[in-house]
Amino acid sequence: MRNLVRLVDAALLPVVGVVFGVLWIIGTANTISDRTPVEWIPYALIGVAIATARLSSAGALSLVISGLAVQAAVPRLRFAEGGWPAYAGLLIVLFVVAAKPDARSRVFGLIVGVTGSVAVGILVGAAGGQPLVAMLVAGVSTVAAWVLGLAVTLVRQRNVASKRSRALEHEVDAAATELAVARERERTAQDVHDIMAHSLAVIVAQADGALFLQGERPAAATESLTAISVAARESLGELRVMLQSLTADPEGHSHPTLQDLDSLLARMRSAGLRVSETTFGEPGLLTAGQQLAVYRIVQESLTNALKHSGPTSEVRVTQDWRGPGLALGVTSIGGHEPRPGSPAGTSRGITGMTERARLAGGWLVAEQDHEDARTFVVTAFIPTVAAPSVAVR
């Protein structure tokens, strides 16, 4: 169907041009003195100009100029009385040229149209008519045909721009959807990393302790095994909450909050990590998402200390609420210098902590102490709900 429409559109002007020329030749046959084909040349030129207007604007306009020039030079070829309306074919040519997207063709067409209007007035005056009236009528008709063609061009361009705009909107929507999916995957991967890395670090430390103590201190070994069981159960609970949140609201579970920091520190102490905690000021109000971010930052910092510096390291956790938010500091002092690139660097854990702080409206810096290579410091700021966001982008 679409091919048929294109075929009809392509053949329309050639058919109109042929019909126009043939009908005028037949209609004026009785008015021609000696019935010679030469006097049909102007009608044929106008018909050919109409037929080729879409294919070649310059060619069609050249035929128009040639026809008027020939009529001006050869009186025998001028239209007889009753043949003047044939100049309406020039308006068709001008309309088609003005409707094309080429701006140069449109300007050239307007110049030819104005020049043609003057030429028509001269030819009418030479035949004994009123040249000024003929020029006025031809000029107004020329401008009207040109403006109408220009309007068609503008409508087409607007439709094309509208289609492009809708296509871009669809592309933007698709890109936004893909970005949202990618962010959700990254968030899920980060949650799994935080939960599993922490629990496995605790379990490994407790299991090593249990193996070492099972012969000499069975009670301590039992405590380590109990800690392993607790850590595994808590990790499974957090994973269950995370997985349920991907499809529906979690039932019977909630994400960790600031109230869960004490149990987190106790669990790390049971793994052999020496952890001290200091709080300044009265805790402010943080959203659930901000509290989860603080919990994960502390969890990841302690896990890194246990994983990279071992249970002999000392960790100081500081919460300072005396400013417009929570100034959080986690300083780990290892028993030995960490291996190059560990734990500092661009690992998933540190990158995840930085992103969590940013999404919570704050910032985070994790770096090795310049004076003591065994010390690693994590500093973060999370604004309270009433405080403005100071996120560093």
- The tens digit of pLDDT for each residue in 99-157 reads 888 888 888 888 888 887 888 777 777 666 677 877 888 788 888 888 898 898 889 88
**What pLDDT score was predicted for residue 344?**
45
Phi-psi group of 263: left, alpha or beta (phi > 0 → left; psi -120 to 50 → alpha; rest → beta)? alpha
Question: Residue 378: pLDDT band by 50, 70, 90 thresholds?
Answer: very high
Question: Residue 209: pLDDT band by 50, 70, 90 thresholds?
Answer: low
Cβ pair 330, 315 in contact under 8 A: yes
Provide the CATH topology of domain 274-393: Heat Shock Protein 90 (3.30.565)
Across 351-364, average pLDDT: 89
Alpha helices, H only, 214-332: 218-247, 261-270, 288-304
Least confident of 59-68, 125-134, 287-296: 125-134
- 189 Cβ contact list (under 8 Å, min separation 6): 348
- Can you tell me whether residue 377 is helix, strand or coil? strand
Cβ pair 365, 330 in contact under 8 A: no
Question: Residue 279: pLDDT band by 50, 70, 90 thresholds?
Answer: very high
**What pLDDT score was predicted for residue 345?**
43
- 350 DSSP 8-state letter: H
**What pLDDT score was predicted for residue 392?**
45
Question: Residue 97: pLDDT band by 50, 70, 90 thresholds?
Answer: confident
pLDDT: which is higher, 329 or 135: 329
CA gap 234, 267 in Å, rounded: 11
Cβ pair 231, 202 in contact under 8 A: yes
**What pLDDT score was predicted for residue 183?**
72
Question: Residue 393: pLDDT band by 50, 70, 90 thresholds?
Answer: very low
Least confident of 86-90, 187-191, 302-306: 187-191
CA gap 324, 41 in Å, rounded: 91
Least confident of 45-59, 126-140, 212-226: 212-226
Question: Residue 75: pLDDT band by 50, 70, 90 thresholds?
Answer: confident
Q: Strands (DSSP E) along the chain, which ranges?
A: 274-280, 314-320, 325-333, 363-368, 375-383
Mean pLDDT of the chain: 76
- Give the pLDDT confidence of 230-247 residue by residue, as tens digits: 666 666 666 665 555 555
- Give the pLDDT confidence of 183-205 residue by residue, as tens digits: 767 766 666 666 666 666 666 66
Enumerate the domain spans of the chain. 2-169, 274-393
Across 349-360, average pLDDT: 86
Least confident of 46-50, 350-354, 362-366: 46-50
**What pLDDT score was predicted for residue 18?**
75
Across 33-41, average pLDDT: 64
Q: Which of 201, 351, 176, 344 is nearest to 270 (CA)?
A: 201
Q: Strands (DSSP E) along 45-170, which ranges?
A: none
